[in-house]
Amino acid sequence: MDELVFLGNGSAFNYQAYNTAAYLIAGEDLILFDCGEGICNRLIKRGVLENARNIYVFITHLHSDHIGSLEALIYYNEKFLHKGFFIFYPRTARLKRLLQLTGVDFPFEIYPVPKALAGYEIGCVPQNHIPGSYGYFFYGSFSFFYSGDTCTVNARAVARLKSGKIDRVYHEATCSSSPIHTHIDKLKAAFPPALRDRVCLMHFDTPAFAEQCRAEGFAVAEVTE
Ligand SMILES: [Zn+2]
Ligand SMILES: [Zn+2]
């Protein structure tokens, strides 16, 4: 089974980990989820961009730990890679304006989320975080839900994991009192122990919290250099 490859598993202020972002190789194409601070350089260092025919970037929301190096990645593609490069986000005009304000001075587009791409059927759902936050369902040879940042667990994602319609849920988690993130107690309530090895948690505040999630039976987003 394909799995997402994590470039980082940290939250915005986790100085011991890279920002949470992950990619999937779909045939000849690269599908990236978010592009936070330092993630463009992580991608270049890994050498995964050169091998891709098209680069598809799905953005969950506009916090800097999720888009902090998106402008750098657009430039890198424009100057060095010249790949098919597509950024997907439901509020297209908002993200386009933001990138224009950062100084992107060549023509580019932000695309609405497609219904199907690179062998996957795709569903986009609003998430409860800041305005303009989204999670993504992908159905294909490997089917999954990617939560982005949210303070609630999507009921459809739980039901589809239970029924086997999706193979995995990638979900953010926190142990803090933040009202805009999903407390580990909510995740424990949503996912019984028998399901937890198929729930991969991410966006950790500290490495110690990642270990706590593992001790509760959840899978943990693993990052390798
Ligand atoms: Zn975040
Ligand atoms: Zn956020």
Residue 151 CA to ligand 2 centre (angstroms): 10
Query: Using 50, 70 and 90 to split pLDDT, how confident is the model at 224?
Result: confident
Number of other CB atoms surrounding residue 76 within 10 Å: 19
Side-chain half-sphere exposure of 67, counting CA atoms within 13 A: 20
Residue 173 CA to ligand 1 centre (angstroms): 10
Residue 129 CA to ligand 1 centre (angstroms): 9
pLDDT of residue 174: 98
Report the distance separating Cα 222 and Cα 18, nearest Å. 11
pTM > 0.95: yes
How buried is residue 207: exposed, middle or buried, by Cβ count under 10 Å (0-12/13-18/19+)? middle
Phi and psi (nearest 5°) for 15? -75, -5
Ligand with the closest atom to the CA of 174: 1
Residue 69 CA to ligand 1 centre (angstroms): 14
Comparing CA positions, the residue from 196, 131, 135, 205 lying closest to residue 168 is 196
pLDDT higher than threshold 90 for residue 225: no
pLDDT (tens digit per residue) in 114-143: 999 999 999 999 999 999 999 999 999 999
Q: Bin 164: left if φ > 0, else alpha if -120 < ψ < 50, else beta.
A: left
pLDDT of residue 1: 46
Ligand with the closest atom to the CA of 11: 1
Tell me the two tokens of residue 34. 């978010």
Number of other CB atoms surrounding residue 212 within 10 Å: 17
Residue 101 CA to ligand 1 centre (angstroms): 21
If you average pLDDT over residues 24-42, what whole number do you get? 97
Ligand with the closest atom to the CA of 131: 2
Residue 129 CA to ligand 2 centre (angstroms): 7
The matching CATH number, chosen from 3.60.15.10, 3.90.1280.10, 3.30.930.10, 3.40.50.1110, for 5-220 is 3.60.15.10
